């Protein structure tokens, strides 16, 4: 992997739906105007065959790689280790796009956006969205960019769900879909975690029914608690043991009280507090619900019909320490896709990092697997090899 990285990048915005052509959601509701925040890396080739779309996870955003002007260069975008010159999403060969999802809070229309009908933030009046609505918004952005077909849609967790839905709904528009640490159907345990996180936010006295935007106080305590709950599920027992064990924070012996005493407690408090400084509580609710309701294989005949329309291939990756979306989730997904007639490569990778493994550069097998898959897609599309690009 190259150490050069992408350097300074810029987040752009595009209005992709307007009053005369609103976004009609899967539920039947409409949004009269949708703006999307996005970033691009690399160059689109003349044939427009080298576009790779990154679909981000629940707490992600458009800033996947590089650094913004004035930011700490040691704190690049959330997937910087996989995007850039010589990296698996090689910007010397691919035109990489990442957009904040519909319902997001980092530049794309969502609950914190102004409702043009009222002049006030939507709050909980923002309609519930589904994964296919996120995909439709991505597709609208691609139309703005003049791109009709993707070499690949790539994503982890909720991002993998988007890549999967994209390939099912629009199989003629996607050569390949890389689905990493994701699930096609949340288990009761996963829905339960989502429910507790949702209750933590909505029971915060400062939630104000979702209309807290003009208030002096926001539901920070509830959102921080929701993030703490979620973060526990993103880590493995092994990684927590290695990072924290039973070590005491800033002391040699326990203080025997109810304040923060163990290092793991301090870490979770930090994660919760840092999260409220960059994320909107309502968006957290909406994205959690998006995942709860996701069930793309509910109608297997429809899936089979759709898969038969295109030649999309799939890469499905799981991590052995991920207990949030375990390997069993990935095996079921791969089996459903194969049963529908799709070519599928499945790989379970050993990693100590739990669900968060998709965000890491190690183990090396992970990035090699993604790079190899994209190399095969690129070769089929007539895009120069890594050696040729160099």
Q: pLDDT (tens digit, 9 = 90+) per residue, 190-231? A: 999 999 999 999 999 999 999 999 999 999 999 999 999 999
Question: Which regions of the chain does DSSP assign to beta strands (E)?
Answer: 12-17, 23-24, 30-31, 34-41, 51-55, 83-84, 89-90, 95-99, 114-115, 120-121, 150-156, 174-180, 313-319, 344-349
Percent of the chain whose pLDDT exceeds 90 = 89
| Residue found by looking up tokens 């260069």 in the block | 73
Domains defined for the chain, CATH in brackets? 12-185+295-389 (3.40.50.1820), 190-288 (1.10.1740.110)
Q: Which two tokens stand for residue 74?
A: 């040691």
Beta carbons of 110 and 61 less than 8 angstroms apart:
no
The pLDDT value given to residue 3 = 59
Q: Of 355, 280, 272, 233, nearest to 103 (Cα)?
A: 280
Q: Which are the catalytic amino acids?
A: 157, 322, 355
The pLDDT value given to residue 390 = 47
The pLDDT value given to residue 1 = 45
What is the Cα–Cα distance from 360 to 348, expressed in whole angstroms? Answer: 15
Q: What does the pLDDT look like over 95-119, one tens digit per residue? A: 999 999 999 999 999 999 999 999 9
Q: How far is CA 40 from the centre of its chain?
A: 16
Q: How many CA atoms lie within 13 A of 72 on its CB side?
A: 2
The pLDDT value given to residue 84 = 97
Q: Of 212, 236, 222, 235, nearest to 288 (Cα)?
A: 222
What is the Cα–Cα distance from 190 to 387, expressed in whole angstroms? Answer: 43
Beta carbons of 200 and 222 less than 8 angstroms apart:
yes
| Residue found by looking up tokens 């507090």 in the block | 273
């Amino acid at each position: 992997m190259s150490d050069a990285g992408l350097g300074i990048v810029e987040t752009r915005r595009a209005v992709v739906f307007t009053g005369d052509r609103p976004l009609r959601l899967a539920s039947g509701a409409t949004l009269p105007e949708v703006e999307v925040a996005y970033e691009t890396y690399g160059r689109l080739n003349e044939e427009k065959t080298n576009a790779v779309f990154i679909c981000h996870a629940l707490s992600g955003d458009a800033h996947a790689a590089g650094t913004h002007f004035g930011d700490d260069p040691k704190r690049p975008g959330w997937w910087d280790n996989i995007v850039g010159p010589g990296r698996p999403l090689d910007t010397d060969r691919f035109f990489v796009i990442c957009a904040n999802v519909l319902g997001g809070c980092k530049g794309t229309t969502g609950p914190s956006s102004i409702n043009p009908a009222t002049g006030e933030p939507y709050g909980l009046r923002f309609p519930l969205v589904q994964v296919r609505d996120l995909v439709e918004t991505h597709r609208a952005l691609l139309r703005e960019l003049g791109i009709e077909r993707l070499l690949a849609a790539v994503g982890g967790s909720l991002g993998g769900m988007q890549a999967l839905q994209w390939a099912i709904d629009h199989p003629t528009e996607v050569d390949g879909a890389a689905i990493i640490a994701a699930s096609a159907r949340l288990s009761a345990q996963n829905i339960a975690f989502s429910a507790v996180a949702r209750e933590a936010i909505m029971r915060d006295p400062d939630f104000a029914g979702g209309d807290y935007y003009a208030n002096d106080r926001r539901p920070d305590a509830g959102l921080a608690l929701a993030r703490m709950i979620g973060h526990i599920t993103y880590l493995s027992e092994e990684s927590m043991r290695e990072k924290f064990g039973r070590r005491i924070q800033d002391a040699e012996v326990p203080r025997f009280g109810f304040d923060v005493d163990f290092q793991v407690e301090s870490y979770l408090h930090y994660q919760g507090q840092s999260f409220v400084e960059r994320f909107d509580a309502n968006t957290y609710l909406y994205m959690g619900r998006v995942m709860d309701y996701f069930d793309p294989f509910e109608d297997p005949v429809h899936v089979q019909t759709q898969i038969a329309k295109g030649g999309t291939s799939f890469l499905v990756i799981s991590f052995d320490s991920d207990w949030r979306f375990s390997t069993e989730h990935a095996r079921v997904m791969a089996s459903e896709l194969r049963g529908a007639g799709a070519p599928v490569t499945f790989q379970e990778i050993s990693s100590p990092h739990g669900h968060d493994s998709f965000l890491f550069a190690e183990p090396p097998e992970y990035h090699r697997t993604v790079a190899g898959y994209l190399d095969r897609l690129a070769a089929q599309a007539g895009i120069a090899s890594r050696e040729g690009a160099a």
